[in-house]
Amino acid sequence: MRGVCRTLGILAVTLALTTPARAETIVLTSGVFNWVSGSSVDVTLSGGSFSFQGRASPFSGLFSPFLQCMVPECTAGTTVDLFTRFTGADIGGTATYNGVTYNPVGSAAAAASLDANWSGSLVIPTTFTGGVLAAPFTFAGAFHFQDTPTTGGILDLLGGGTATQSFTPSTPFPGTFNLTGVRFEIEASPVPEPASMLLIGTGLAGLAALRRRRKEDHDPEG
């Protein structure tokens, strides 16, 4: 029995040492996903002490706009699903975190990998004749890294911004459009200025005072 307990204890310690821990959450302040018809996908991400630069094939991962609007083409009135995911070997590149560079990222022998997800939707107007359309999107991902065989971690990545898609009319099929470009651009979330924070605090204090006054009016003995 003592031997079994010792074995279980060693196993628990081993799992604790080899299971990557959540390092921190990084709010991305900039980044671009850019694809133009006939080319690869270029991706950059940056926020805090983390940055990534890499490339992926539009045929790898799950690239919903590409799949939805290439064959068959999208039509006016269509809602385009912006969901796009590249993970593991789908996307390769170089990352830096806390001054440490991880290169390569995403290969079979790499000590680091990226899981990147862009989400949102875009509606093609019924009166659309071609050009560029924009819609908001959100980004959620994770950067997995291994510094040694027993130490590593996972960064949670969050962000959001504006997605733009370029369409050209399909000549053989009137009313349909070919997708020629997709761009997700991450924008830094605005931080309230001190004056704005003061106004918010003053407003909350005023609401609290008004609530107390109304309570006293309805319950004079309380």
Please write the tens of the pLDDT for every residue from 24-56: 999 999 999 999 999 999 999 999 999 999 999
Assess if residue 217 is contained within a domain.
no
Q: Rounded to an integer, what distance in angstroms lies between the CA atom of residue 95 and that of residue 181?
A: 25
Assess if residue 199 is contained within a domain.
yes
Confidence band, pLDDT 50/70/90 cuts, at residue 88: very high
Q: Rounded to an integer, what distance in angstroms lies between the CA atom of residue 139 and that of residue 119?
A: 6
Count: domains in the chain: 1
Mean pLDDT, the chain, whole residue set: 83
Assess if residue 51 is contained within a domain.
yes
Residue 183 sits in which domain range?
A: 22-209
Tokens read off for 146: 């291994």
Assess if residue 101 is contained within a domain.
yes
Tokens read off for 136: 């908001």
Assess if residue 181 is contained within a domain.
yes
**Minimum mean pLDDT range among 15-24, 58-67, 161-170, 207-216:** 207-216
pLDDT digits (tens, 9 = 90+) for 112-158: 999 999 999 999 999 999 999 999 999 999 999 998 888 899 999 99
Assess if residue 153 is contained within a domain.
yes
pTM given for the model: 0.77
Assess if residue 134 is contained within a domain.
yes
Q: Rounded to an integer, what distance in angstroms lies between the CA atom of residue 166 and that of residue 133?
A: 7
